[in-house]
Amino acid sequence: MIIDHPLLGPRDSAEFTYMGDARLIERPSPDSPDAAAAFYDYAYLRDNPAGWHRELWFHEAGDRSWLVVTRNTVTHEISKVEFASDVARAKGRSK
Amino acid sequence: MTQKNRIAGGQIDRNTTCKFTFDGRTYAGHAGDTLASALLANGVRLMGRSFKYHRPRGPMTASSDEPNALVHLRSGARTEPNTRATTTELFDGLTATSQNRLGSLSFDLLAVNDRLSTFLTAGFYYKTFMWPAAFWEKVYEPIIRRAAGLGTLSFEDDPDVYDKGFLHCDLLIIGAGPAGLMAALTAARSGAEVILADEDFRMGGRLNSETYTIDDAAGADWAAATVSELANMPNVRLLSRTTVIGAFDHGIYGAVERVSDHIATPDAGKPRQILWRIYTQKTILAAGAIERPIAFNNNDRPGIMTASALRSYANRFGVAVNKRTAIFTNDDDGHRTATDLHAKGVKVIVIDPRADAPRARDYEVLAGAQVVDTMGRLGLTFAKVCLADGTERIIECGALGTSGGWNPNVHLTCHQRGRPVWNDALAAFVPDDLPAGMTVAGAAKGDMSTAGALAGGAQAAHSALELKGRLPAIPQAEDAPVNITPFWYVEGASRAWVDQQNDVTVKDVKLSHQEGFRSVEHLKRYTTLGMGTDQGKTANMGGLAIMAELAGKTIPEVGTTMFRPPYTPVAIGAFGGRHRGQDFHPKRLTPSHKWAEEQGAVFVEVGNWMRAQWFPRKDETTWRESVDREVLATRKSVGVCDVTTLGKVDVQGADAADFLNLIYCNGFAKLPVGKARYGLMLREDGIAMDDGTAARMAEDHFVVTTTTANALSVYRHMEFVRQCLVPDLDVQLISTTESWAQYAVAGPNARRVLEKIVDQDISNAAFSFMACANITVCGGLRARLFRISFSGELAFEIAVPTAYGDALIRRIMTAGAEFDITPYGTEALGVMRIEKGHATGNELNGTTTAANLGMGRMVSDKKDSIGSVLSRREGLNRADDLRAVGIKPIDPTQPVPAGAHLMISDGPVDAAHDQGYVTSACYSPNLGHHIALAFLKNGEGRIGETMRLVSPLTDIDVQVEICSAHFIDPKGERLRA
């Protein structure tokens, strides 16, 4: 596969390490009343769809950025590649 | 050495004679021959034995889809089993031997299987070797393994090298027949970067095997002229002898180039093969079509082959397989073979089951007739034909060409789950869903005429590259329509081979259906139809057709099996490339490696690093002697150990402390500058991930260490936290593992050694336990000093830029000479940390929590950290949880090995009563007996208890006492000295 890195352009997927569901960005707040249940979901329950999926890829043999890759797990089509940090900010993870 | 079947014509070089041997006999052929064509020229039809019944077999094709003519090529370490004689390019000195036989090729003892064929039908193994179960491993399997299979390996190392390469282009064209050549010409003239790959050693595809003309030239000459025009264009790369093996995601194709397979040994410095990874925007598949056979009784005798193969041998290689040849065809294309062979002086007769078969003036055509059986023990001698009126006729022939129609070569169109669709006019599947960026042209698409291929190739290139302007002029060529009546097998045939490589007959397919295997994928696995080196390229359609008939379905309703890469078999060596032996993974050398070698160190590989394991002295005969000495000397005076391999991460930024607070379960916010602290990282599920130290070099600068094994994964995790969880913290990370050489100097005299090297005051008052600082050594070299201790002794870790690592170890040894400084390796390091009760990967084994490790109180509840919430789960905090303890044997001579389990002294010994297990064990030279670290249920409350340590697998049953894990200096006075 070829991943179109937002900064570095198209790169071979062999340069990346895969970590699965990008929902890992949405780490719950430890202060919420249901933190234990929320963290249980967060740590153990992942979507594994046949179809479009947002996934985390680490450019380990490159610039060490974590990316959110929107990929169809059936066809391997990639429709979007974003910096995970941008996604995290959009999810309200800024300080 | 006569080539009795050699006839005029063809594209062989008659001025170059190649001598070769097959089964020890010497023959002659010509450059441009394949092994199969040269053998056929010499009158040799028998080239192998079949997989199961050991029936005599000869080539069925003249191409890479060959099921039968598989040989051992070359000899010694270069022996290559299952090599297709039909694609093996002849060279002078070639050696080949037949395979899968017991005895000689013409008298194979295992041919007895053919007599037993009534029993050896589909599913024979599943049905027969069911019981007694104990017989499988000792009796059945060895016999089956001996009898089954085709070629055998040499069991020697391959002496050749294989390479990997990367290519980029605008347009990849697969196949250099008329469609591929025309596409390449069109694309290349537009200036696009073009790669044209063809598996054959001579480009031109079927043009080399046909008598067609293109414009006024012979097809083969037009191909040669076109190839030479392309070869002179700088934007074209011609890859002959290159098979595109797979269509992968996003325009990536795999291709194997056989660089040196056509010569006896590779030229100096040249690889045997190259595995190319081709990145392309667009692809044109022009892979042609494969002729399929017809099944009839005994259709597998040497001399029976596809009609197009006979045409190839005659037109391309100048070989008439036999002077008397019959053709059995259900389509007009088979008649071309008859015409061509007749023109070359071969006596031809055509058997065509179609009542309206085309007539010929020059030879006999038996319309409405079928071949029902054949004769000839080691090669075809007669064919029995059932005529239209039901009478039988025996025809004398030494070659029989069959044509059941042509299958477009859709293979690569299906590598991304595309399924072909049925085309009634062709009675074949044609491509439908295509991988992104791919178009198909020529016979692969179903355009079976030369004119169609030429026009289709040009059009495909034109649209793939979105060229403006008019199409190039298409040369004149034949444009015959396809005329076919589907005919798969002769009614009533049973010992009629559908898949010759796997010895699957019409009867087997019927039996499989009768036994309930209704899905085409089940049929394949039950009968093995379509498996093996040829993957059923000539067989699958016949099997599908019979299945469809039995199920009362149409062929498209039955569907095809999945096509998967590689298109043809690939040597494992090509996938490995240069990553073999030592080059399989890199060896990382520590900065003190050269010095350690000089000391005669024994090395051990730790996460690719070569680390000194111990430093034997001349008088020492066992490793234990060396390790005991290193431990005792370090604890008595001073020792030194290279600890460079520990992962090091530089953490900088205004929010660096906040960041560490998040990744470590214990607190770092209040760590003062100039101090280091032990840190434990948890996974988000509350299990311990890694440990190390973080040293605060400045307000906004920490140096974090990780374990050697987890250096990579911890760094990845830290980047994940930084970028994905706290993207706006002011913190930056960089791995500096390779940038600093680091040595542990440990023992009561450690300070006195380092005082001679370090430029600053390192007295206990100035540089207390857990201090850290940027310092200089040897009068100005920048360095870092950490007062941390893994051994439990007064200890420092000193780091200098890696380039100075060798100089520093030598300087430390010189400075330490007066204290008898002792270099120690990883074994002594391990002994000392077990004596001290420090955890490593054995304890942080992916199942243990901070509480298990005895560090439960470290998990701060005053702050958020990764894993802290789930570490407080009820299930991880039970009263009888495992706790780290120490173990010592009651009888001091007995070992307490790692992996053994703890049981109550007078209780049962079984898994249900398991109390815990030993994680690390060693002999402690300081205590004079073995010691171990263990996890024990409710361990803290059981200090002093006597238990049984058992390992039923290794016959261990030892009485042990539970004790504190801190065997040496439990109060930590030494390291604070």
Residue B519 pLDDT: 86
Is B254 found in the same domain as B165? yes
Cβ partners under 8 Å of residue A43, min gap 6: B684, B685, B870
pLDDT digits (tens, 9 = 90+) for B949-966: 999 888 999 999 999 999
- Residue B113: pLDDT band (50, 70, 90) is confident
- Distance of residue B277 Cα from the nearest chain A Cα, in angstroms: 11
Task: Flag whether B861 is in a domain.
Answer: no
Is B746 found in the same domain as B607? yes
**Phi, psi at B158, each rounded to 5°:** -70, 120
Is B66 found in the same domain as B2? yes
pTM: 0.90
pLDDT digits (tens, 9 = 90+) for B784-796: 999 999 999 999 9
Partner-chain contact A25 B724, CB within 8 Å:
yes
Partner-chain contact A95 B726, CB within 8 Å:
yes
Residue B954 pLDDT: 87
Partner-chain contact A2 B252, CB within 8 Å:
yes
- What's the domain range around B19? 1-155
Q: Quick one: which of B60, B63, B62, B27 has its CA closest to B44?
A: B27
Cβ partners under 8 Å of residue B954, min gap 6: B897, B900
Partner-chain contact B870 A17, CB within 8 Å:
no
- Identify how many contiguous H helices and E strands chain A contains and give both numbers: 2, 6
Task: Flag whether B925 is in a domain.
Answer: yes
Task: Give the helix ranges, DSSP H, for B768-857.
Answer: 805-816, 826-836
Is B667 found in the same domain as B639? no
Residue B494 pLDDT: 81
Is B16 found in the same domain as B143? yes
pLDDT digits (tens, 9 = 90+) for B571-622: 999 999 999 888 888 899 999 999 999 999 999 999 889 999 999 999 999 9
Residues forming beta bridges with residue B98, ordered by sequence position: B71
pLDDT digits (tens, 9 = 90+) for B716-771: 999 999 999 999 999 999 999 999 999 999 999 999 999 999 999 999 999 999 99
Q: Which residue in chain B has the smallest CA separation from A68? A: B724
Task: Flag whether B351 is in a domain.
Answer: yes
pLDDT digits (tens, 9 = 90+) for B860-916: 999 999 999 999 999 999 988 999 999 999 999 999 999 999 999 999 999 999 999
**Is it the case that residue B52 has pLDDT exceeding 80?**
yes
Per the structure block, which two tokens stand in for A22?
A: 């990008």
B62-76, B94-108, B896-910, B957-971: the lowest-pLDDT one: B94-108
- Residue B123: pLDDT band (50, 70, 90) is low
Task: Answer whether B74's CB lies under 8 Å from B151's CB.
Answer: no
- Distance of residue A78 Cα from the nearest chain B Cα, in angstroms: 9
| Domain coordinates in residue numbering, chain A | 2-90
Per the structure block, which two tokens stand in for B850?
A: 């901070």
Task: Answer whether B243's CB lies under 8 Å from B256's CB.
Answer: yes
Task: Give the helix ranges, DSSP H, for B148-203.
Answer: 178-189
Partner-chain contact B250 A88, CB within 8 Å:
no
Partner-chain contact A84 B723, CB within 8 Å:
yes
Is the Cβ of A20 closer than 8 Å to some Cβ of chain B? no
**Is it the case that residue B392 has pLDDT exceeding 80?**
yes
Report the pLDDT averaged over residues B193-218.
97
- B347-352, strands of its sheet edge to edge: B304-306, B399-403, B324-329, B347-352, B364-367
- Residue B126: pLDDT band (50, 70, 90) is low
CA distance B286 to B727: 50
Domain final position from B736, B770, B803: B736
Task: Give the helix ranges, DSSP H, for B73-191.
Answer: 112-115, 124-128, 135, 141-147, 178-189
Is B66 found in the same domain as B13? yes
More confident residue, B234 or B586: B234
pLDDT digits (tens, 9 = 90+) for A9-60: 999 999 999 999 999 999 999 999 999 999 999 999 988 999 999 999 999 9
CA distance B346 to B735: 76
Per the listing, tokens 């899968």 go with: B100
- Residue B127: pLDDT band (50, 70, 90) is low
Provide the CATH number for the domain around residue B359.
3.50.50.60
- How many A×B Cβ pairs under 8 Å? 82
Give the best residue of A85, A87, A94 to mutate against chain B (max B CB count within 10 A).
Answer: A85
Look at domain A2-90 and name its CATH class: alpha beta
Question: For all residues of chain B together, what is the average pLDDT?
Answer: 94
Partner-chain contact B724 A65, CB within 8 Å:
no
Q: What is the DSSP letter of B523?
A: H
Task: Flag whether B514 is in a domain.
Answer: yes
**Is it the case that residue B149 has pLDDT exceeding 70?**
no
Per the listing, tokens 């605008």 go with: B170
Residues forming beta bridges with residue B284, ordered by sequence position: B173, B439
Per the structure block, which two tokens stand in for B349?
A: 């007769």
**Is it the case that residue B112 has pLDDT exceeding 80?**
no
pLDDT digits (tens, 9 = 90+) for B346-384: 999 999 999 999 999 999 999 999 999 999 999 999 999
Is B228 found in the same domain as B88? no
Provide the CATH number for the domain around residue B758.
3.30.1360.120
Give the best residue of A66, A71, A83, A91 to mutate against chain B (max B CB count within 10 A).
Answer: A66
Task: Flag whether B489 is in a domain.
Answer: no
Q: What is the DSSP letter of B858?
A: G
Is B84 found in the same domain as B17? yes
Is B589 found in the same domain as B574? no
End-to-end CA, chain B? 92
Partner-chain contact B724 A40, CB within 8 Å:
no
Residue B143 pLDDT: 67
Residue B560 pLDDT: 84
Q: Which residue in chain B has the smallest CA separation from A26? A: B725
Task: Flag whether B852 is in a domain.
Answer: no
Domain tally, chain B:
7
Residue B718 pLDDT: 98
Using alpha carbons, list the distances in angstroms from residue A50 to A53, B41, B401, B413, B833. Answer: 8, 55, 48, 22, 49
**Is it the case that residue B135 has pLDDT exceeding 80?**
no
Residue A93 is nearest to which of B417, B725, B870, comparing CB atoms? B725
- Identify how many contiguous H helices and E strands chain B contains and give both numbers: 23, 50
Residue B132 pLDDT: 67
Partner-chain contact A89 B727, CB within 8 Å:
yes
Cβ partners under 8 Å of residue B565, min gap 6: B245, B246, B247, B248, B254, B415
pLDDT digits (tens, 9 = 90+) for B524-561: 889 889 998 999 999 999 999 999 999 999 999 998 88
**Is it the case that residue B114 has pLDDT exceeding 90?**
no
Residue burial A18-51, b: 16+ Cβ < 10 Å; e: rest? ebebbbbbbbbeeeeeebeebbbebbeeeeeeee
Domain final position from B94, B121, B155: B155
Is B237 found in the same domain as B311? no
Task: Flag whether B716 is in a domain.
Answer: yes
Is B182 found in the same domain as B67? no
Residue B145 pLDDT: 64
**Is it the case that residue B124 has pLDDT exceeding 70?**
no
Is B137 found in the same domain as B18? yes
CA atoms B19, B21, B24, B25: torsion sign: negative
Cβ partners under 8 Å of residue B404, min gap 6: B291, B292, B293, B294, B329, B330, B331, B487, B488, B541, B542
Rg (CA), chain B: 38
Is the Cβ of A75 closer than 8 Å to some Cβ of chain B? yes
Residue B330 pLDDT: 96
Domain final position from B121, B155, B189: B155
ipTM: 0.99
Residue B716 is nearest to which of A1, A30, A60, comparing CB atoms? A60
